[in-house]
Amino acid sequence: MTEKKLRRVNQSRAATKSSGKKRSRKRENEHSAFFVSGKKLIRLTKRQKRTWKRRVHLMTVIVEYTLFSIFVTWCCWMLVNTNAHFVDGDSMSPTLSDKDRLLIRKTTNIQRYDLITFEPADEKDTSYIKRVIGIAGDNVQIYDERLVVSLTDISEEEWSERNIPDSTIVLEIQEQNAIRTFQNLKEIPANYYLVVGDNRENSRDSRAFGLVHENQIEGVVLLRFAPFQRFGIVH
């Protein structure tokens, strides 16, 4: 091989090596992110990194919109199904105090011993808070101007001997109108409730105005939100 041809071969080999080194450096520069999976090191190219960022951004957007939708749904439910109420007076003491702020859940699904808000039939545009102690099917009887609420019928002999079940509730009637109302009943009719205040010495309730119909009921007390130190569910 002549010296001229040998020089050309050497130049071609040098150019090939230089090109290979450039391609190698280019591939190395493309590896710009590192993630550790266990003990194995995984390299991502710039293209893979951009794809990963797009996926993370998409997931972030989905989570944000999901949480926002849940929040909006919850707010709409609260606006439609709840109401705020202000306690005026001490008729529900010690359970509730004057100026307590309550959250009311609008419902007509009433259970015994629930605290409810309602509008009395004889006082329009007024709201009362009382406790349900009598529901449909309970026996109601008048003895000695007292209202006797029980799950079973009580005879005059049993009453005179005070031989009555432990679950029996005896209430002092406050007004004659209530006596006349209960004298015409043997049991509480469907969709009616007997309510009293926890502070019975200072409460106007079913002992004065009779039974409460479900159409008068605004809802059931859910919780007290003020004052803050007494925040919580009310029973």
Q: What's the CA dihedral at 158, 159, 161, 163 to 10 degrees?
A: 60
| Torsion angles phi and psi, residue 11, rounded to 5 | -65, -40
Res 16: pLDDT: 57
- CATH code (residue 113): 2.10.109.10
pLDDT-above-90 percentage for the chain: 39
Q: Of 86, 92, 85, which Cα lies nearest the Cα of 204? A: 92
Residue 62 maps to a domain: yes
Other Cβ atoms closer than 10 A to 128: 23
Residue where a domain stops, chosen among 79, 105, 122: 79
pLDDT-above-70 percentage for the chain: 81
Residue where a domain stops, chosen among 79, 102, 123: 79
63 plus 111 within the same structural domain:
no
Specify the range with the lowest mean pLDDT, choosing from 21-25, 166-170, 177-181, 203-207.
21-25
With 60 as the cut, is the pLDDT of residue 85 above it?
yes
Identify whether the C-beta of residue 223 lies closer than 8 Å to the C-beta of residue 231.
yes
40 plus 148 within the same structural domain:
no
Residue 6 maps to a domain: no
147 plus 64 within the same structural domain:
no
Task: Just list the catalytic residues.
Answer: 91, 130
184 plus 145 within the same structural domain:
yes
pLDDT in tens, 91-140: 999 999 999 999 999 888 899 999 999 998 888 888 999 999 999 999 99
Residue 200 maps to a domain: yes
74 plus 92 within the same structural domain:
no
Res 44: pLDDT: 64
The whole model's pTM is what?
0.70
119 plus 224 within the same structural domain:
yes
Residue 87: pLDDT band (50, 70, 90) is very high
Residue where a domain stops, chosen among 79, 112, 130: 79
Residue 64 maps to a domain: yes
191 plus 119 within the same structural domain:
yes
Other Cβ atoms closer than 10 A to 141: 20
30 plus 123 within the same structural domain:
no
63 plus 93 within the same structural domain:
no
223 plus 128 within the same structural domain:
yes
Give the residue numbers spanning the domain of 114: 87-229
How many structural domains compose the chain? Answer: 2
Q: How far apart (Å, rounded) are the C-alpha atoms in residues 92 and 196?
A: 9
DSSP reduced 3-state for 136 = coil
31 plus 103 within the same structural domain:
no
Residue 184 maps to a domain: yes
Residue 154 maps to a domain: yes
Residue 211 maps to a domain: yes
| Residue found by looking up tokens 């545009």 in the block | 125
Specify the range with the lowest mean pLDDT, choosing from 16-30, 63-77, 146-160, 199-213.
16-30
Instruction: From residue 112, give the alpha-carbon distance in Å to each of 105, 128, 132, 174.
Output: 16, 17, 5, 22
Name which residue leads in pLDDT, 135 or 10. 135
Name which residue leads in pLDDT, 58 or 153. 58
Res 94: pLDDT: 93
103 plus 173 within the same structural domain:
yes
